[in-house]
Amino acid sequence: MKVTKAIIPAAGLGTRVLPASKSIPKEMLPIVDKPAIQYIVEEAVQSGITDILIITNRGKSPMEDHFDRSPELEERLLASGKRDLYDQIVDVTKIANIQYVRQKETKGLGHAVWCAKSFVGDDPFAVMYGDDVIISDNPVCGQLCKVYDEFGLAVAGIKEVTEEQILKYSSLKTEPIRDNLFKITDMIEKPKKDQVLSLYSILGRCVLPAKIFSILENTKPGAGGEIQLTDAMLQLAYTEGMIGVDYIGTRYDMGNKLGILQASIEVGLKHPEIRVELRKYLKDLVKSL
Ligand code: UTP
């Protein structure tokens, strides 16, 4: 079945990027000239997604404003002949059918996903973590949807991380299927050093069947006292199987100070308006390091 729905959990408190994220959602932090969430929505649309639900929270309304019309600004841009900018800001309001729901308490990613139950209905859906921007010529959400189409099983985007990072993420036990595809046979969220299953972790994207909601309803708080999506996905992996895709793409963690800088520099180096100047600036700067 073709996946046409995606949810973007973006209700987290963003404590790792405070104080920047106190009154600006981390999902709205810019990478060159677009907020992080716009890159994610564009990836969804390029992957064949038509309906998007963003899970929000108090203080996250700038995201809704970003995908809404802005009549005064539009008029001003037209009147001053800035047609290109006008087109850009109007186009983003028509990019997809975007809806919002509030997660009333920040109880974890699993709980945020659960808030999408009535939007999803019985359909399979993509989960695109709101603070993970992934740049690729081949949209990563689409890479996963293709695998869901083929196997009809839950699919997670996976990548190898460092020994330090794995303790903060999920760790997976995998068996190779072919090429970049793996069967996921076990997983643990935020493992202790002696619990690490491998350096493979679920990073940023997955495609899940609606069955996940009945599992989430019975999922008890796990690591950090939060309802963990990993714990619910483990049940899917045990009962019907789950596929990991070592996707092609570069992921930037916008919930992390270094990730934000890496995204700005690397995307900036490809941006037609600033790439030449940025490259020159970086080359000069490197000499002084
Ligand atoms: P993170 O754990 O990276 O986000 O969740 P966080 O809680 O904002 O981060 P820190 O640790 O406080 O800095 C991954 C994704 O899940 C969303 C976040 O917005 C992020 O996009 N999330 C997390 C929710 O929507 N609700 C939650 O209760 C927790």
Give DSSP secondary structure letters for 207-245: EE-TTHHHHHHTPPP-GGGS--HHHHHHHHHHHT-EEEE
Q: Which residues line ligand 1 (CB under 6 A)?
A: 9-16, 55, 103, 106-109, 111-112, 129-131, 255
C-alpha 51 – ligand 1 centre gap (Å): 22
> Among all chains, which residue has been given the structure tokens 């019985």?
122
Average pLDDT over the chain reads: 96
C-alpha 253 – ligand 1 centre gap (Å): 11
pLDDT for res 60: 87
SS3 string, 252-279, reads: EECCCHHHHHHHHHHHHCCCCCCHHHHH
pLDDT for res 107: 94
Q: How many CA atoms lie within 13 A of 211 on its CB side?
A: 16
pLDDT for res 1: 77
**What would the pLDDT profile of 18-31 be if each residue is shown by its tens digit?**
999 999 999 999 99
**What would the pLDDT profile of 149-166 be if each residue is shown by its tens digit?**
999 999 999 999 999 999
Please identify, by atom number, the ligand 1 atom nearest to the C-alpha of residue 8.
Answer: 21
**What would the pLDDT profile of 90-100 be if each residue is shown by its tens digit?**
999 999 999 99
pLDDT confidence bin for 59, thresholds 50/70/90: confident
pLDDT for res 83: 96
pTM summary value = 0.95
Residues above pLDDT 90, as percent of the chain? 97
C-alpha 284 – ligand 1 centre gap (Å): 37
pLDDT for res 66: 97
**What would the pLDDT profile of 253-278 be if each residue is shown by its tens digit?**
999 999 999 999 999 999 999 999 99
> Among all chains, which residue has been given the structure tokens 């002696």?
194
In angstroms, the CA 78 to CA 146 distance is 41
In angstroms, the CA 250 to CA 266 distance is 10
C-alpha 85 – ligand 1 centre gap (Å): 32
**What would the pLDDT profile of 8-55 be if each residue is shown by its tens digit?**
999 999 999 999 999 999 999 999 999 999 999 999 999 999 999 999
pLDDT for res 166: 96
